[in-house]
Copies of this chain bind each other. A is one copy, B any other.
Amino acid sequence: MRMFNKVTIIGVGLIGGSIGLAVKKSGLAEEVTGVFRRSSTMKKALKRKSVDKGTMSVRDGMHDADLIILATPVSSIPLLARDAVDFAKEGAIITDVGSTKRWITAQIDKMTSRSGIFFVGSHPMAGSEHTGVEFARDDLMEGAPCIVVKTVKTRRSALRKVTRFWRALGAEVEVMSPSRHDKSVSLISHLPHIIAFSLAGAVPAKEIAYAAEGFKDTTRVASSDPELWADIFMTNKAEVVKAGKLFINYFNTIKKALSDGDYGKLVRILRRSKAKRDKFVIYGKKR
């Protein structure tokens, strides 16, 4: 099903590369162009056919594109949107895959008003602790939640197209405001990352030698890219700090029941947690 003539992906890593593969597989675009910072990555991406064409020039890559996907770390997304305003053709749609949305949309909405190009922020919640196009998979978006954000500046036709685009790649799309998004992800994504980083950091290295499955899974995302995540935390600071407080309160409730030797209360708290976690397994498909 052809939706676009030319789709351009800026930043072809795990996410950008997976989108490229999926767009090509589904035939959503006549052509997929990737924009790279390193020629070594470009070679890898072309070899793996994540994109049809590659360029190191943002200007060339954006030229004549119908859909531009900004798949770089959060802090660089507004800068690239500025380039799109300068280089993209009239009517082009820009989206992104950034993990925070309020900070990004506030800046880009200002740039794009009366520019003739349309921005719709997205956040496909797929990926892993790995980075790099070598981990890209054409089915990464299948069954993944994808939040698309809507602001007072969002053009309806562009929102519809972006929504259809992610659905065509198999994602389960929800439309919400940037603030709503940032609150949700602070709890279900940013908080788990801070917790994993804290646990891996706090446990002395010599103890880790005995660790098994529980530690492995609880800390898995601590192998994520530090700069990428520092970026995400910084651009969603207020919500992340709030989520942290919620967590610490719960943690302290458990600790208190334990210190008090209140077995009954401890079991009740743990049961409530288990019930919520058990339900989660049922919701998702590929989770």
Residues of A participating in the B interface, judged by any CB pair closer than 8 Å:
125-128, 144-145, 147, 174, 183-185, 187-189, 191-205, 207-227, 229-230, 233-234, 237, 240-241, 244, 246-251, 254-255, 258-259, 261, 263, 266-267, 269-274, 276-281, 283-284, 287
Contact = CB atoms under 8 A, between A and B. Distances in A.
12 contacts: A125-B210, A144-B212, A189-B211, A192-B214, A194-B255, A195-B251, A196-B273, A202-B249, A214-B220, A230-B270, A241-B255, A248-B251
Closest 10 CB pairs of A and B: A226-B270, A201-B273, A202-B250, A188-B211, A192-B218, A222-B277, A200-B277, A198-B251, A125-B212, A197-B273
Contacts of A240: 258
A9 B187 CA distance: 43
Contacts of A225: 274
Contacts of A216: 280, 284, 287
B191 A230 contact: no
Nearest to A264: B230
B267 A230 contact: yes
Contacts of A212: 125-127, 144-145, 188-189, 287
B210 A199 contact: no
B147 A233 contact: no
Contact of A234 (B184, B188, B258): B258
A281 B223 contact: yes
A279 B205 contact: yes
A277 B247 contact: no
Contacts of A198: 247, 250-251, 254, 273
A120 B209 CA distance: 22
